[in-house]
């Protein structure tokens, strides 16, 4: 039967079908649902690791043990896991392993739009890129085959569109996963212990392997030439291939399913059979540069942008500007921004009603401290009217940067702020660094007992596993105390006066300190508190409550009103109202 599946669902299904039994990941949009789905299949073990490097090591370990494995990550997660990924290319594995990584062109939910195809070249590992969900399913199995045939981890690249869009997949509810002979881990230090003497022996093997993979790329059906009108030849992969097919229905195509290493002979043959050759690829000129280096005349980034996400209409507009096609009136009209869309109000993301982060940021703003922030829902503290964050880089950077800022002999009061999931991901090492290197940073851990931003995944501080089993809950306050932190307070960010006093005390202290701002995520809490309302007679319309940036607070002509449908009853606005106009 056919089933509508997202690319994330399909690759998880494909991994299950091909006998993958161990999966590890850390959540990250757009890849999160790969592991969430894989975890639902019978007979598999799947975990949320504290971060992507740990996830990578876990999957590598499983493959060493002779069990097929999968890792999934968003693009920047591969930065975190890169050290491990690179050694795995050197050691090889023992059973197949696929690394599904999802790029985010257009930065729908990321801090950058790096092109992870570069990792394949950099690490010297093969990379596949599906163009729809059926391919996502199939490429999981082919990835495992390649991994075992060439003794290498195989990257499967997604982008937001291939991860999140749905298309039909051949599906059987009773499908039985493939069986395979599990081999015991060979005790072979020359292969698995990467000291320089042994690693030197491995490097030529990797170079040889990538040459063999390039030969494989020439014959695998993953890459195919689809001859149409020979006046224009297009090389494309992934979702961009689908867009290009839509825009140029009659052109000739070289559709790449294996995006590294490239099938050079096939490219030469294709180039020779078309009059003009173009490459359509999002982000970096990854194919274009390699094809240009082969001495083949090709155009790519001269026509299409290096920045942002593509769409059929963007490809059409760029191609028309380059004289490759003519747009009809309807297409021209569709390319113009619609007045209706322009008239829509801008709705930036904001913290949810009842979010504890709001109380914390209100205290921080009122205290006027510099806030070295991090990545999570709480990054929204940067937005007006809270305006209470002054730096965010990547996960876990808050504490180290704040520590360095302190060592830079600043006179300004400053704090580091990061979430509980981020703390377990990349906060442990810098928080040790502050202590070890005699820093004075106050670190605030916004503990909402979940990974809020990516959709409420468990982490070591929630007491539950990905497969919904109860487990040890690592207590953040006890953990930092055991490291040697003496000044540690746990405070509810709903209690803003108390929080402000504790903050003042911590900032006045010379010693490094930790404040755990503990308040479960409002979307998980199911608090069932009655909504508040504003007595219009008492409201002086001063706007103090609006500075909390809480969406149920609506400005009327001469007073503020609370929308009872949205209000969570948290009482933060009641605490800041100077007129006592807000009541239960
Ligand atoms: C290296 C990396 N991995 C994953 C992500 C995706 N991501 C962004 S924020 C976040 C965690 C947020 O959880 P938490 O720190 O608990 O804060 P909350 O959103 O709950 O406030 C994740 C997983 C990322 N941006 N970078």
Same structural domain, 476 and 565: no
Q: At which of 507, 524, 541 does a domain end? A: 524
**Rounded to the nearest whole angstrom, what is the distance from the C-alpha of residue 374 to the centroid of ligand 1?**
9
| Atom 5 (ligand 1) nearest CA | 28
> Could you tell me the CATH number of the domain that includes residue 246?
3.40.50.920
pLDDT at 165: 97
The residue contributing the CA closest to ligand 1 atom 12 is 376
What secondary structure does DSSP assign to 92-124, as a single string? --SS-EEEEEEE-TT-SS-S----THHHHHHHT
| 3 state SS of 158 | strand
For residues 67 and 214, membership in a common domain is answered with yes
Q: What is the CATH number of the domain that holds 546?
A: 3.30.70.20
Question: What average pLDDT score do residues 208-214 get?
Answer: 98
47, 174: one domain: yes
Q: Are residues 487 and 550 in the same domain?
A: no
503 domain-assigned: yes
Report residue 36 as tokens. 């969430």
* Confidence band of 438 (pLDDT split at 50, 70, 90): very high
pLDDT digits (tens, 9 = 90+) for 215-240: 999 999 999 999 999 999 999 999 99
Q: What counts of helices (H) and strands (E) characterise the chain?
A: 23, 22
Residue 420 to residue 427: CA distance in whole angstroms: 9
Residue 45 predicted with pLDDT over 90: yes
d(C-alpha 275, C-alpha 233), whole Å: 7
Contacts of 521 (CB under 8 A, 6+ apart): 355, 356, 448, 449, 450, 452, 456
Report whether pLDDT(279) > 90.
Answer: yes
Ligand 1, pocket residues at CB < 6 Å:
26-28, 74, 76-77, 80, 375-378, 395, 419-422, 446, 448, 450-454
* CA distance linking residue 516 with residue 521, whole number of Å: 14
Indicate if 177 and 248 belong to the same structural domain. Answer: no
Same domain, 186 and 231: no
Provide the phi-psi class of 213: left if phi over 0, else alpha when psi is between -120 and 50, else beta. Answer: alpha
Output the DSSP codes for 124-147.
Answer: T--EE--SSHHHHHHHHHHHHHHH
Q: Cα of 305 to ligand 1 centre, how many Å?
A: 29
Above pLDDT 90, what percent of the chain?
95
Q: What is the pLDDT of residues 529-582, one digit of tens each?
A: 999 999 999 999 999 999 999 999 999 999 999 999 999 999 999 999 999 999
- R_g of the chain computed on alpha carbons: 27
CB 46 within 8 A of CB 465: no
Domain that holds residue 329: 224-335
- The two tokens of residue 99 are 């690394």
CA 444 to chain centre: 23
Is residue 331 very low, low, confident or very high in pLDDT (cuts 50, 70, 90)? confident
Among residues 97, 8, 42, 73, the alpha carbon closest in space to that of 467 is found at 42
Ligand 1 atom closest to residue 378's alpha carbon, by position in its atom list: 21
Rounded Cα distance, 169 and 154, in Å: 22
* Residue in 379, 394, 395, 521 to alter for ligand 1 test, most ligand atoms within 8 A of Cβ: 395
Reading the block at residue 173, the tokens are: 């509810």
pLDDT at residue 25, rounded to an integer: 98
* Cis-peptide into 248, omega within 30 deg: no
pLDDT band at 342 (very low <50, low <70, confident <90, very high): confident
pLDDT band at 97 (very low <50, low <70, confident <90, very high): very high
What is the CATH classification number for the domain harbouring 412? 3.40.50.970
Is the per-residue pLDDT at 410 higher than 80?
no
At residue 152, the pLDDT reads: 98
Q: Which residues pair with 233 in a beta bridge?
A: 252, 277
User: First vs last Cα of the chain: how many Å apart?
Assistant: 55
Out of 419, 443, 461, mutate this one to test ligand 1's pocket (max ligand atoms within 8 Å of CB): namely 419
């Amino acid at each position: 039967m056919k089933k509508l599946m997202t690319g994330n669902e399909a690759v998880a299904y494909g991994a299950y079908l091909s006998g993958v039994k161990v999966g590890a990941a850390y959540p990250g949009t757009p890849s999160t649902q790969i592991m969430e789905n894989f975890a639902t299949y019978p007979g598999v073990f799947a975990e949320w690791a504290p971060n992507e490097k740990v996830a990578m090591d876990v999957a590598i370990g499983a493959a060493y043990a002779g069990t097929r494995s999968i890792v999934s990550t968003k693009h920047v997660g591969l930065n975190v896991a890169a050290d491990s990924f690179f050694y795995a290319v050197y050691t090889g594995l023992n059973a197949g392993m696929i690394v599904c990584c999802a790029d985010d062109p257009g930065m729908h939910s990321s801090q950058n739009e790096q092109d992870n195809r570069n990792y394949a070249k950099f690490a010297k590992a093969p990379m596949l890129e599906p163009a729809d969900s059926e391919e996502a399913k199939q490429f999981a199995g082919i990835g495992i085959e390649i991994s075992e045939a060439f003794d290498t981890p195989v990257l499967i690249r997604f982008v937001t569109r291939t991860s999140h869009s749905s298309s039909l997949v051949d599906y059987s509810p009773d499908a039985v996963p493939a069986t395979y002979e599990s081999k015991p881990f060979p005790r072979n230090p020359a292969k698995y212990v990467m000291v320089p003497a042994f690693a030197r022996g491995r490097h030529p093997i990797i170079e040889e392997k990538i040459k063999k993979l390039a030969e494989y790329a020439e014959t695998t059906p993953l890459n195919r030439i689809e001859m149409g009108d020979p006046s224009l030849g297009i090389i494309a992969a992934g979702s961009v291939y689908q867009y290009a097919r839509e825009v140029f229905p009659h052109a000739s195509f070289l559709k790449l399913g294996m995006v590294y290493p490239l099938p050079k002979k096939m490219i030469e043959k294709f180039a020779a059979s078309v009059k003009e050759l173009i490459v359509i690829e999002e982000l970096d000129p990854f194919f274009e540069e390699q094809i240009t280096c082969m001495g083949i005349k090709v155009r790519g980034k001269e026509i299409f942008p290096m920045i942002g996400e593509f769409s059929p209409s963007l490809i059409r507009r760029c191609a028309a500007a380059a004289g490759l096609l003519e747009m009809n009136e309807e297409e021209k009209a569709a390319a113009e921004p619609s007045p209706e869309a322009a008239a829509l109000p801008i709705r930036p993301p904001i913290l949810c009603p009842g979010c504890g982060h709001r109380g914390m940021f209100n205290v921080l703003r009122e205290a006027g401290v510099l806030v070295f922030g991090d990545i999570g829902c709480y990054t929204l503290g940067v937005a007006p009217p809270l305006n209470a964050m002054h730096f965010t880089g990547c996960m876990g950077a808050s504490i180290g940067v704040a520590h360095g800022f302190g060592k830079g002999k600043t006179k300004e009061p400053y704090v580091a702020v990061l979430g509980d999931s981020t703390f377990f991901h990349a906060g442990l090492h810098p928080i040790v660094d502050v202590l070890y290197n005699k820093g004075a940073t106050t670190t605030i851990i916004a503990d909402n007992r979940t990974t809020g931003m990516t959709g409420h995944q468990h982490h070591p501080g929630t007491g539950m596993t990905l497969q919904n089993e109860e487990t040890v809950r690592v207590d953040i306050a006890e953990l930092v105390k055991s490291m040697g932190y003496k000044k540690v307070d746990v405070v509810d960010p709903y209690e803003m006066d108390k929080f402000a006093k504790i903050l003042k005390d911590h900032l006045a202290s010379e010693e490094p300190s930790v404040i755990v701002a503990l308040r479960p995520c409002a979307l998980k809490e199911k608090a069932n508190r009655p909504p508040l309302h504003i007595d219009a007679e008492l409201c002086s319309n001063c706007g103090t409550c609006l500075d909390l940036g809480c969406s149920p607070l609506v400005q009327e002509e001469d007073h503020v009103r609370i929308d009872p449908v949205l209000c969570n009853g948290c009482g933060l606005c009641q605490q800041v109202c100077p007129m006592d106009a807000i009541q239960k």
